[in-house]
């Protein structure tokens, strides 16, 4: 179990331990080049490869990528089906390389909505890489922060049926083990590419004290230099977790 940022003040290192990214702007990247939107999604997969490698090299322990939100089903069916096909082909092509690089793959979200072939591929890819320890790459697919909080609540109630008659006993430590990413600490750094400054139903619970970095660059153009710039920005933040600046300085001085 990782400490909760609202229960105790976490220690933060100069390299973010957990980076969570909303990979946005694929469509606009393509449209600005007079290409079909799906060309942007294909280029987005290339950027994923670059950023996974760069994060592993920098010593990031957990990298979480938002690939498909619970609201992305609202898109035209053709675009959704291209995204599903890209997801399948990326898993088929990349898992051996991830494994060779010591990366453990996890996929979180309401996976039951995917076609059985994709569900099976996800399970195979996870079990192929399950023993790897260098970095955990989580892909959030058909994920929504509200879905996660609801499913965790249902599952906590199943584990603690006494809560129904004693709801005042419900605390964080009973709920958070049931969140989809209970195996990871809360993100230190959130990055959203593509210029929008919103969370779009990503990790709502876990972002409580995450540093939020927004860049106008479209996801297919997000490279290791842009990642380094985000890390530099992160190093300059004073993470106070509700305390005063003076308290933080005193702790840093030991
Ligand atoms: C992000 O890029 C990829 C997914 C949501 C799957 P978009 O497709 O949202 O690109 P824009 O925001 O329309 O440019
Ligand atoms: C968020 O991007 C979801 C992913 C990147 C997977 P969207 O493009 O779907 O977000 P909105 O609709 O602009 O908020
Ligand atoms: Mg978008």
Query: Active-site residue among 26, 72, 188, 221?
Result: 72
Catalytic status, residue 72:
yes
- Using one digit for the tens of pLDDT, what is the confidence trace for 126-158? 999 999 999 999 999 999 999 999 999 999 999
DSSP state of 12: -
Reported pTM: 0.98
Catalytic status, residue 26:
no
Q: pLDDT at residue 68 above 90?
A: yes
* Pairwise CA distance, residues 138 & 58, whole Å: 17
Ligand nearest to the CA of 69: 2
Please list the residues that pair with 68 across neighbouring strands: 141
Tell me if 219 CB under 6 Å of ligand 2: no
Tell me if 22 CB under 6 Å of ligand 2: yes
CA geometry: angle 135, 86, 64, nearest 5 deg: 25
CATH fold of the domain at 18-252: Undecaprenyl pyrophosphate synthetase (3.40.1180)
Tell me if 24 CB under 6 Å of ligand 2: yes
Query: For residue 254, what pLDDT band results from cuts at 50, 70 and 90?
Result: confident
Question: How far is the centre of ligand 2, averaged over its atoms, from the C-alpha of 219 (Å)?
Answer: 12
- Using one digit for the tens of pLDDT, what is the confidence trace for 1-50? 799 999 999 988 999 999 999 999 999 999 999 999 999 999 999 999 99
Domain boundaries along the sequence of the chain: 18-252
Q: Look over the chain and give the mean of its residue pLDDT values, rounded to a whole number.
A: 97
* Pairwise CA distance, residues 151 & 138, whole Å: 18
Ligand nearest to the CA of 30: 1
Determine which of 25-29, 78-82, 248-252 has the lowest per-residue pLDDT on average: 248-252
* Pairwise CA distance, residues 140 & 75, whole Å: 17
* Pairwise CA distance, residues 175 & 153, whole Å: 6
């Amino acid at each position: 179990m990782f400490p909760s940022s609202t229960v105790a003040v976490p220690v933060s290192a100069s390299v973010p331990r957990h980076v969570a990214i909303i990979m946005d702007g694929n469509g606009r990247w393509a449209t600005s080049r007079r290409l079909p939107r799906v060309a942007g999604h294909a280029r987005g997969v290339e950027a994923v490869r670059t950023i996974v490698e760069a994060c592993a090299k920098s010593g990031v322990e957990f990298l979480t990528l938002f690939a498909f939100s619970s609201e992305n089903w609202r898109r035209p069916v053709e675009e959704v089906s291209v995204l599903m096909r890209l997801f399948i082909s990326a898993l088929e092509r990349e898992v051996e390389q991830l494994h060779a690089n010591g990366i453990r793959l996890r996929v979180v979200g309401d996976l039951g909505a995917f076609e059985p072939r994709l569900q099976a591929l996800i399970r195979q890819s996870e079990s192929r890489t399950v023993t790897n320890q260098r970095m955990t790459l989580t892909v959030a697919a058909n994920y929504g922060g509200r879905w996660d909080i609801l499913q965790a609540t249902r599952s906590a109630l199943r584990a603690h049926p006494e809560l129904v008659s004693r709801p005042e006993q419900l605390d964080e430590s009973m709920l958070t083990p049931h969140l989809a990413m209970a195996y990871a600490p809360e993100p230190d750094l959130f990055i959203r590419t593509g210029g929008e400054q919103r969370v779009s139903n990503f990790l709502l619970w876990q972002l409580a004290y995450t540093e939020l970095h927004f860049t106008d660059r479209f996801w297919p153009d997000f490279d290791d230099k842009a990642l380094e710039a985000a890390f530099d920005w992160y190093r300059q933040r004073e993470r106070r977790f509700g305390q005063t600046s003076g308290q933080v300085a005193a702790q840093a001085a030991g």
